[in-house]
């Protein structure tokens, strides 16, 4: 199988591709490039971003992205080689809205719904229970996938130190709702029990009361109110959460890890890989973004003995630039630049070697996206990234280096 076929098989085959990675590695750009490539191969693709910056909207040439999929203009897509049966849509997840929809779905009465939405604790709970924000993204994916309007949904997950919290979030929320402290707060009278627990109960209530007293906020009351209202939703929420989890860990979903070439970024990627494996998630590919690649590919040559050829370069420069051009200095500077760039190329290869061998040993796809000369801020730029991943007639490394 050719490299580009293998890339397609790993990165684009399933119905859902979840891009994970730490912040600042270009995850949003890579997600959009994957969706564009799927569209070019004739599929209806959707890229779902959580990045509130307007960059993706700008890059895709649409006015604004909202909580509903926005289809890109056909003419712009056709110009990039997207066939008539293919399509590309984009949306930006409104996480608060998605969580509200969830409350809507499971609240047992309009009164319950109103009570939950008006509760001050609710305003924070979706963010505060770590991972719930990420979870609401997956909730949206589940809903969109069920509609089957797209052949491929590419998800750009939030940049966070703990980028996989969303896999745990449903379980954690359900566990929290079921926990003893919750029942104790809601129904203190029903708590009978052992001495240790009573002691704990007293302590917890006392801590909360003091927090209330010093803060002047009706904390205990708001929490009880919220939990009481949420209690009736617990079962529906649990079932839904199980469905989302099954989809994410099932064969329809592939995780694509996006990393940078720096030491910290590679380290974080290795850890993320371990954690994904721990969840039983299927990591099919790793893309290292912004890697410096030697022109034409391959390892850079050893330039240690090249000093002796500076005279030849100076002569060639003098011939093409004419007299008056400081050809000697220019030749020296050119060698300096080549040696400097070669050092960058070797460094990136060295820093990413451990990640590469770990991925390849497991039969996953490993791809390096060459560092481009400029920022990606339009569809053409995204197409360039897609070509760098999936290949094209032109050598991607060479093309990137000459662009801009």
Partner 1 sequence: MTPLRPPSLLDRRLVIVTGKGGTGKTTVAAALAVAAAGAGRRVLLAEVGRDEQIPSRFAPGSPPAGYAGREVHPGVTAMRIDPFEALGEYLALQLGMSAPVGLVLRNRAFRQLMEAAPGWRELITLGKIWHLEQMQTSPARPRWDLIVVDAPATGHGVSFLSAPRVVVSALRAGPLRRHAAQVEALVEDPVRTALLPVALAEELPVRETEELVRNARNEVGISVDRVVVNAMLPRPFPPGLEDLDERLRRLPEGAPLGALPPASVLAACAGHLRARWDLHERWARTLAESIGLPCVRLPYLAEGVEGPASLAALGAALLAGSPSEAA
Find the binding residues for partner 1 in span 291-350 (CB under 8 A).
292, 294-296, 301, 303, 305-306, 308-310, 312-313, 316-317, 320-321, 325-326, 329-330, 333-335, 337-338, 340-344, 347
> For partner 1, which is the closer residue by CB, 100 or 399?
399
β partners of residue 56: none
Distance (Å, whole) CA 35 – CA 21: 17
Distance (Å, whole) CA 26 – CA 278: 25
Out of 1, 214, 251, 323, the only residue in the binding site for partner 1 (CB under 8 A) is 214
Contact between 125 and partner 1 per CB under 8 A: yes
19 half-sphere exposure, CB direction, 13 A CA radius: 33
Contact between 53 and partner 1 per CB under 8 A: yes
CB of 82 vs partner 1, minimal distance in Å? 26
> For partner 1, which is the closer residue by CB, 73 or 203?
203
Residues 74-103 that bind partner 1 (CB under 8 A): none
CB atoms within 10 A of CB 351: 19
Q: Tell me the window of 86-94, 105-113, 179-187, 248-256 that interacts with partner 1 (CB under 8 A).
A: 179-187
List C-alpha distances in Å: 351 to 203, 281, 288: 50, 25, 11
CA 23: distance to chain centroid?
A: 8
Out of 76, 80, 130, 249, the only residue in the binding site for partner 1 (CB under 8 A) is 130
Q: Tell me the window of 4-12, 36-44, 139-147, 261-269 that interacts with partner 1 (CB under 8 A).
A: 261-269
Distance (Å, whole) CA 293 – CA 71: 35
Contact between 194 and partner 1 per CB under 8 A: no
Residues contacting partner 1: total by CB under 8 A: 85
End-to-end CA distance of the chain: 32
Residues 262-281 that bind partner 1 (CB under 8 A): 262-265
Tally DSSP H helices, then E strands, for the chain: 18, 8
CB of 382 vs partner 1, minimal distance in Å? 15
Residue with token string 């197409």: 383
Out of 206, 218, 277, 394, the only residue in the binding site for partner 1 (CB under 8 A) is 206
Distance (Å, whole) CA 22 – CA 8: 23
């Amino acid at each position: 199988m050719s490299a580009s076929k293998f890339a397609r098989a790993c990165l684009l085959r399933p119905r859902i591709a979840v891009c994970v990675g730490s912040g600042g590695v270009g995850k949003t750009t890579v997600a959009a490039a994957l969706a564009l490539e799927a569209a070019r191969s004739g599929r209806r693709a959707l890229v779902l971003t959580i990045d509130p910056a307007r960059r993706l909207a700008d890059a895709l040439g649409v006015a604004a992205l909202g909580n509903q999929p926005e289809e890109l203009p056909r003419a712009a897509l056709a110009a990039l080689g997207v066939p008539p049966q293919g399509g590309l849509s984009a949306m930006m997840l409104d996480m608060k809205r998605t969580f509200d929809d969830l409350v809507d779905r499971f609240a047992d009465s309009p009164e319950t719904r109103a009570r939950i939405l008006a509760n001050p604790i609710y305003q924070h709970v979706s963010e505060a229970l770590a991972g719930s924000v990420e979870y609401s993204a997956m909730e949206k994916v589940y809903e969109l996938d069920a509609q089957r309007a797209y052949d491929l949904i590419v998800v750009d997950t939030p940049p966070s130190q703990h980028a996989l919290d969303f896999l745990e979030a449903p379980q954690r929320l359900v566990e929290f709702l079921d926990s003893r402290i919750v029942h104790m707060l809601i129904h203190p009278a029903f708590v009978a029990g052992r001495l240790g627990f009573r002691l704990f109960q007293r302590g917890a209530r006392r801590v909360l009361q003091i927090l209330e007293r010093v803060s002047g906020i009706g904390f205990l009351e708001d929490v009880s109110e919220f939990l009481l209202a949420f209690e009736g939703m617990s079962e529906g929420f649990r079932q839904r959460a199980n469905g989302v989890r099954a989809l994410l860990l099932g064969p329809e979903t592939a995780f694509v890890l996006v990393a940078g070439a720096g030491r910290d970024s590679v380290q974080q990627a290795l850890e993320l890989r371990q954690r994904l494996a721990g969840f039983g998630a299927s990591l099919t590919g790793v893309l290292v973004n912004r890697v410096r690649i030697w022109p034409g590919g391959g390892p850079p040559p050893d330039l240690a003995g090249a000093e002796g050829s500076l005279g030849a370069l100076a002569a060639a420069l003098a011939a093409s630039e004419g007299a008056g051009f400081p050809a000697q200095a220019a030749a020296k500077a050119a060698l300096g630049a080549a040696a400097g760039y070669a050092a960058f190329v070797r460094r990136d290869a060295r820093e990413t070697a451990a990640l590469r061998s770990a991925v390849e040993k497991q039969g996953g796809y490993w791809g390096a996206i060459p560092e481009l000369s400029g920022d990606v801020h339009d569809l053409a730029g995204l197409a360039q990234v897609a070509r760098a991943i999936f290949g094209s007639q032109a050598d991607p490394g060479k093309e990137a280096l000459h662009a801009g």
